[in-house]
Homo-oligomer: A and B are copies of this chain.
Amino acid sequence: MSDVIEMSPIGVIHSAFDEKFGIPRQPGLTQSLTATVELLPPYGSPEAVRGLEGCSHIWLLFLFSATAEQGWKPLVRPPRLGGNKRLGVFASRSPFRPNPIGLSPVRLLGVREQNGRILLDVSGADLLDGTPILDIKPYLPYSDVIADAQFDLADRIEKLTLPLHWSAAAQAACDAYSQRLGQPLATQIGELLTYDPRPAYQRDPERVYGLALHGLNIRFRITTVAIDILSISEAEPATPIAE
């Protein structure tokens, strides 16, 4: 067995997620958000993706590039478990792994060629913009669907049932940016905030957060009675923003 294996990215994803904060905690939650996998030369050719268009879903194997240099620890605190309970790294999908490979199933919307590049449009991806892709595999229903699989510690992500309250300014900005970007921004923001991006240990209803999306900064607050979307503007500072 060789001790070191060398891998190279076969592609890169272009997504609306400019920062780690706000990325859904599991793939598949935000189907209104699309992303595009660009295959890099020499991997991107019409031959290499032949037949892929018949595939409803694909696996993205990717490099947790944003956190890869931070290394790994045997125990992690998965956000879904409230950040208090520690789990073994191999019992989690934490990015802080010995080999920082991520695995996400996404819906394949289409395969196209543009300027000699092969592009795969997908939805439900939970990848940071610019994430290097290591492999793409078809999702094979007969082997990948394990209907009786169970994992007690991994509860479904809880969805907030609070109403969305848009400030007048946020609403106007949302309409304008939706048109400019050609994106269903209101739906996307609603989906993202409904899954509560706040850290589990930090649920201060007064605190204002900034969500980076499509290069925009979406300021919001989650109180006990509503999800308040306060403003939407061109992004600049790092998030979360405490005020």
Q: Write the residues of chain A forming the contact surface with B, with a CB cutoff of 8 angstroms.
A: 1-10, 12, 26-28, 39, 43, 45, 47-52, 54-59, 61, 63, 65, 68, 74-75, 86-93, 97-99, 101, 103-105, 130, 132, 134-154, 156-157
Q: Is the CB of B93 within 8 A of A137?
A: yes
Q: List 14 A-B contacts (CB under 8 A).
A: A1-B12, A4-B8, A5-B9, A5-B68, A7-B7, A48-B90, A54-B151, A54-B152, A54-B153, A56-B149, A61-B99, A98-B135, A139-B146, A145-B145
CA gap between A150 and B58 in the complex, in Å: 10
Q: Is the CB of A75 within 8 A of B88?
A: no
CA gap between A1 and B6 in the complex, in Å: 15
Residues of B within 8 A of A51 (CB): 87-88, 91-92, 153
Shortest distance in angstroms between A159's beta carbon and chain B's nearest beta carbon? 12
Q: Which of B2, B3, B104, B142 contacts A154 (CB 8 A)?
A: B142
Shortest distance in angstroms between A60's beta carbon and chain B's nearest beta carbon? 11
CA gap between A172 and B61 in the complex, in Å: 47
* Identical chains in the assembly: 2
Q: Assuming A48-B74, A74-B47, is B149 touching A8 (CB within 8 A)?
A: no
Q: A52-B90, A54-B153, A99-B134 are in contact. List 13 more A-B contacts (CB 8 A).
A: A8-B99, A43-B98, A47-B75, A48-B75, A52-B88, A56-B146, A91-B138, A93-B137, A93-B140, A105-B143, A105-B146, A141-B154, A145-B145
CA gap between A93 and B137 in the complex, in Å: 6
CA gap between A215 and B10 in the complex, in Å: 38
CA gap between A54 and B152 in the complex, in Å: 6
Shortest distance in angstroms between A79's beta carbon and chain B's nearest beta carbon? 14
Q: Is the CB of A135 within 8 A of B45?
A: no
The residue in chain B whose Cβ has the minimal distance to the Cβ of A93 is B137
The residue in chain B whose Cβ has the minimal distance to the Cβ of A9 is B1
Residues of B within 8 A of A47 (CB): 74-75, 88
Q: Which of B50, B61, B132 contacts A91 (CB 8 A)?
A: B50
Q: Is the CB of A143 within 8 A of B88?
A: no
CA gap between A58 and B27 in the complex, in Å: 17
Shortest distance in angstroms between A198's beta carbon and chain B's nearest beta carbon? 20
